[in-house]
Amino acid sequence: MANLTPFDVGYCLHPGCMALKGAGWRVCKFPARAWLLEAQGKRWLWDTGYADHFEHYTSKGIYRLYRATTPVHFDSRDALFRQLADRGISPADITALIISHFHGDHIAGLRDFSGVPAISSMDGWIRTRKLRGLAALKTAFVPGLIPDDFETGLQWMEAMEETPLPAALAPFEGGYSLPGSDNEIILVPLPGHAAGHIGAFVLTDSGWELLASDAAWSPKSYESLRGPSRMAHLVMDNSAAYYETLRRLNQLYLSGNVKIHLCHEGDL
């Protein structure tokens, strides 16, 4: 069975009500979380969290507004590649880096893994890759975080083998089998939050678990169908699709069949 290991890689601060309607204006801590996925003798990374590159590429111009609206706290010692090194794992040991979506807090460490192939949604990258200036800022994309050789080894989720999901994962019905995982890791679209936003069902010794990325910012959202503040809709790719994804997560949660993980579960 596959194994999941979480890593907290920096965090940002934001009023709780932006992430969860009715949570008030208390400033909350939202960790940027990445995962190491291991299956069939291979290793993949799910996102990267923050990195020193984020500070560098948001230090001037319009991208400074990103840091101003979501103050980031990051210690270089917590960089994902350093946390992996502490476990004896180098970038050369990683089969591929899976990108849930292209917001800065999920891709800031890409340059630390230059040369490692990446996997993403084709729709997500095509709709994001050329954005610059205000258009990029509105989608939380910082172009400088993308390594020069990024597209060389980029693989599309949509080009992978489609596979039906077990009935226990309803209302989710199908996804894309991660090559080399023997169907222990299945990528699935989770539309709404960002262009090409994806998640992954992972079959562990404890059963199926779902990396749901930013489909919600608090478990309270999918447990009780409480979305974020309406102001958060301004930075969503598609608010109607977001709430449809949240509804499906609620059904999955109520089934009790799957453990759900979010990237930013914090003190909300």
State pLDDT tens for residues 47-99: 999 999 999 999 999 999 998 989 999 999 999 999 999 999 999 999 999 99
Query: Alpha helix (H) ranges present in 46-201?
Result: 52-57, 64-69, 80-85, 104-107, 122-128, 133-138
Stretch 243-264: mean pLDDT? 98
Q: Is the Cβ–Cβ distance between 80 and 34 less than 8 Å?
A: yes
At 249 the pLDDT is 98
The 10s digit of each residue's pLDDT in 90-137 is 999 999 999 999 999 999 999 999 899 999 999 999 999 999 999 999
At 231 the pLDDT is 81
How is residue 179 written in tokens?
């090559």
- Label residue 187 by pLDDT band (50, 70, 90): very high
* In the predicted structure, residue 13 carries a pLDDT above the cut 90: yes
Q: What is the dihedral of CA 80, 82, 85, 91, to 10 degrees?
A: 60
Stretch 216-229: mean pLDDT? 94
Q: Is the Cβ–Cβ distance between 56 and 120 less than 8 Å?
A: no
Q: Determine the Cα–Cα distance for residues 78 and 29; give it in Å rounded to an integer.
A: 16
* In the predicted structure, residue 18 carries a pLDDT above the cut 90: no
At 232 the pLDDT is 84
At 88 the pLDDT is 98
- Name residue 33's beta-bridge partners: 8
At 266 the pLDDT is 80
* In the predicted structure, residue 233 carries a pLDDT above the cut 90: no
Q: Sign of the C-alpha dihedral, residues 139, 144, 150, 151?
A: positive
Which residues have C-beta within 8 Å of that of residue 184, sequence separation ≥ 6? 1, 2, 39, 40, 202, 203
At 97 the pLDDT is 98
- Label residue 213 by pLDDT band (50, 70, 90): very high
Structural domains of the chain, with CATH: 3-261 (3.60.15.10)
At 103 the pLDDT is 98
- Label residue 235 by pLDDT band (50, 70, 90): confident
* In the predicted structure, residue 203 carries a pLDDT above the cut 90: yes
